[in-house]
A and B are shown apart, each in its own frame.
Chain A
Amino acid sequence: MGSRLGGIFWSLIFLAVPVLGVATFAIAPSYNIWLPKDVSEHGASIDGLFYFILALTGVVFIATEGLLFWFIWKYDAAKAKGPATYIHGSHTLEVVWTIVPAATLLFLAIYQMNTWADVKMRRPAMAPTVEVVARQFEWRLRYPGRDGMLGTRDDLFLTNDLHLPVDEDVLVQLKSMDVLHSFFLPNLRIKQDAVPGMKIPVWFKAKETGQFDIVCAELCGWGHYKMKGRVTIESRADFDRWLEETYARQEATQPAPEDTAAPAAD
C-alpha cells in the first residue's frame, strides 16, 4: 500500500518515456542528428521504408507506453477499492494480438521486396567501374585502365580515394584481402560485407556531386575505427580527367615537380 503521491510520481515517470521519446525524434533533425544526406537513386525508397517502419513502430510505441502510464495511474494501489479481479485470459485477445502483428510483418516483408531486389538482386549488366579490396585497415582500389578490363597491365591502383561518375550506374566489385570488412557508404545508402574469398558486386547510382565518407561497418581488428576512405562523386568529364591524371602519375618515369622541391622549402 504505497502513497497516492508515490503512485502519481511513478506513473508520470513512465509517461515521460513516450513524451521524451517523441520529443527527441521531433527536434533531432534540427540539430542535424538524423539520417545522413542521401545522394543516391535508390536511397529514397530505402529511407521511405525506414520512415514507414518508424511511423508504424512509433504508433505502437506511443500506444503501448500510453497504456502503461494509464494502467499505473488508474489502478494505483493507493486508491484501490476492493480486491483485484483475476481473469483466466481471453482467447479472442490472444488471437487478435498474434494475427495483427504477424500480418503487419508479412506486409512489411512483401512491401520491401522490391527495394531489396533493386539494391541486391537486379544487377546492371555492365563491367565493374572499380574493384574495391578491403584490407586491414584501408580500401584498396583498382580501376580498369584504358582497355576497360580489370586485371590487365594498365590498371590504376589507389588507396582510400574513390572517385565515381554522377548520374551513372556504378558497379563495384568488392573483395577482402584478409578478414571480414563491410563497405559502407552512408550517403549512398550502401552497405555490403566484404567476405574473404568472395567477389561481391555492389551497384548504385549517385545523383549529386560531392565528397562523402567510406567507413568500415564490420569489426575487423584494432584499426577498424579508423578504416575510413573518401568517395568523390563528380561529373563524367571530371572523372575521366581525374583517371587520366592519376594514371599519368602512376606511370611516371620522372619525379613530380613537388617532389623535387629545393631544400630551402623545408
Chain B
Amino acid sequence: MNRFSHIAFLLAAGCLLSAGCGKTPSASYRLNMVEATKQRLTTEQEQQVATVLLAMFGTPDDPVALPEFGLDEAKLRLASGPVRSDIVGRKNGLYREHCAHCHGVTGDGMGPTAAFLNPYPRDYRPGVFKFKSTERADKPTHADLLRILRNGIAGTSMPSFALLSEPQIDALAEYVKYLSIRGETELALMRAYFELDDDAKGILPETREFLVDETASPIAEKWKSAAAAQIAVPDMPADIDLAESIAKGKELFYGDKANCVKCHGVTGLGDGQANDYDDWNKAIVEINKEIEGGLAKAGETSTSGMSADEAAEHRKQVAWLGKFSHVVDGDALAPRTIPPRNLRRGVYRGGRRPLDLYYRIHAGINGAPMPAAKGTVPPEDIWHIVNYIRSLPYEFDGELGADRPLVARDRF
C-alpha cells in the first residue's frame, strides 16, 4: 500500500506539473459564429467566409491591408502579433499585450477578462463606436480613437494608456480600425448569402469586384471620411451668464423639448428607465427571444400530420434552434441592460469637457438608446443643458426630492 500511494501521488504531481505543457497554438481569428448561425450558413459557407477573410485581412500574427482600406501597414505590424522586440527600444505585439485580454484577439469584446467586466468591452465588429466627435451615423475620427486610448473611459474598465508613447498609441488606434473593418466586412459577407440568386448555389463570388469594390471598400470609405463628418460646434456665447444658463438648462432638462428626465429620471440619477439595451446586447436579446419562441412553437407543433418534406423542414428548424442556442451560450456574453447615466456622479464616459457633453447631446450616443437632439434642440439650448448637467453633481439644495435620498455610493 505504501508503494501504491507513492505512485498515486507521483502521478497526481506529474499531472499537475505537466498541466501547462504543450506547444501554444498561434492566435487565430474566430469566425462570428452568432451571425453565421443567424444567417443559417452551412459549414461550407462558413469556411468560405473564413477563407475570404484570410485572403483579405491575413492573420493576427500577419495582418494584411489592401490599399483601398487606407490603413498604414507599418503601424499594423507594430500592433499585431505576439509581444516581441526586433529593434532595441521598440516593442511589437502591442494589441496582444494591452488590449486582447478584454477586447479579444478578433476584436469581438470577448477576451478572457470580458465576462467579468461591467460594462462589457467594445465589440469592434459591427463598426459602431459610442464616444466620438462625429455625427451619429459616422465613424470616429483617428483623433477620437487616440483620445479614448489616452484618457481611458471614466467609469468603465477601459484604462488610460497615456503612459505609452505616441507612436504606440497611434499603432493601436490603427489596429482597432483594421479589426473593425475586418469585422464589418465579415458581417457584410455573411449577410450577402441571403441576397444571392439561386443560381449562385450559395457560394459568394470571389472576385475583386464583389469582395473589395462592393463589400469592403464602402466600409473603409466611411472610416476615411469620418474626419469630414465632425460635428461643427457653435461657440458658447462668451458673455453667457452661467447662473441664467443653468436655470434655462434645468427647464429644458425637465421640459418636453429635450425629454431628459424621461430616461435620466427626475432626480438625474438615471432611474427613469431600467430595461433598455445597447445595440450589442439587444442583438443577443432578440436572438434569445427568437430561439425561445421557435423552440416553444416547435414544441407545440405535432409532426403527426406532416408530409415527409414538412417533417424534414421541422427537424431542420429544431436542429438549427439547438445549434443557435449552443452558439449563443459559448460565443456571446450574457445580455446586460444599459442604465441611463447617473448625472449626479460627475463621471462622464465620453469625456468631461463641455465640448464632449455637447457632442453627446447633439448626436446622441451611437449604439446606445441616447437619442440625438440635432435639429430639434437649437445649439444655444444644448449649451444651456450642458451647463446644467455640469452643475448637477454640486446641486445640493434639496432638489432631489424628499423621498429620494442620495445613495451612499452616489455621495462619493
B-contacting residues of A (Cβ < 8 Å)? 136-138, 140, 152-153, 157, 159-161, 177, 222-223, 226, 228-230, 249-255, 258-263, 265-266
Contact = CB atoms under 8 A, between A and B. Distances in A.
B325 interface: no
Interface of B: 70, 72, 113, 116, 133, 141-144, 147, 151-152, 154, 157, 159-160, 162-163, 224-228, 230, 233, 235-236, 352-355, 358, 383, 390-391, 394, 412
Nearest to A259: B143
Contacts of B116: 222
Contact of B233 (A249, A251, A255): A255
Given A253-B233, A259-B147, 5 more contacts: A152-B394, A153-B390, A229-B163, A263-B227, A263-B228
Given A138-B152, A222-B113, A255 B230 contact: yes
Nearest to A226: B159
B353 A250 contact: yes
Nearest to A221: B116
B235 A136 contact: no
Contacts of A153: 390-391, 394
Given A153-B394, A160-B160, A228-B163, A262 B235 contact: no
B315 to A, nearest CB: 45
A261 B142 contact: yes
B230 A159 contact: no
Contacts of A265: 142
B142 to A, nearest CB: 5
A157 B352 CA distance: 9
A230 B163 contact: yes
Contacts of B226: 263
Given A159-B152, A254-B235, A255-B230, A138 B160 contact: yes
B143 A258 contact: yes
Nearest to B71: A266
Nearest to B224: A263
Nearest to B158: A138
From B72, B147, B227, B394, residue with most partner A Cβ within 10 Å: B227
A210 B398 CA distance: 46
A226 B70 CA distance: 33
Contacts of B352: 157, 250
B348 to A, nearest CB: 9
B355 A254 contact: yes
A265 to B, nearest CB: 8
26 contacts: A138-B160, A140-B154, A152-B394, A153-B390, A153-B394, A159-B152, A177-B412, A223-B159, A230-B162, A230-B163, A251-B353, A251-B354, A252-B354, A253-B233, A254-B235, A255-B133, A255-B230, A258-B143, A259-B143, A260-B143, A260-B230, A261-B227, A263-B225, A263-B228, A266-B72, A266-B142
B243 to A, nearest CB: 12
Contacts of B154: 140, 157, 159
Contacts of A251: 353-354
Given A252-B354, A252-B355, A253-B354, A266 B133 contact: no
Contact of A137 (B142, B159, B227): B159
B408 to A, nearest CB: 10
B355 A253 contact: yes
Nearest to B161: A160
A183 to B, nearest CB: 16
A262 B227 contact: yes
Contact of A159 (B157, B160, B224): B160
Contacts of B163: 160, 228-230
A229 B159 CA distance: 11
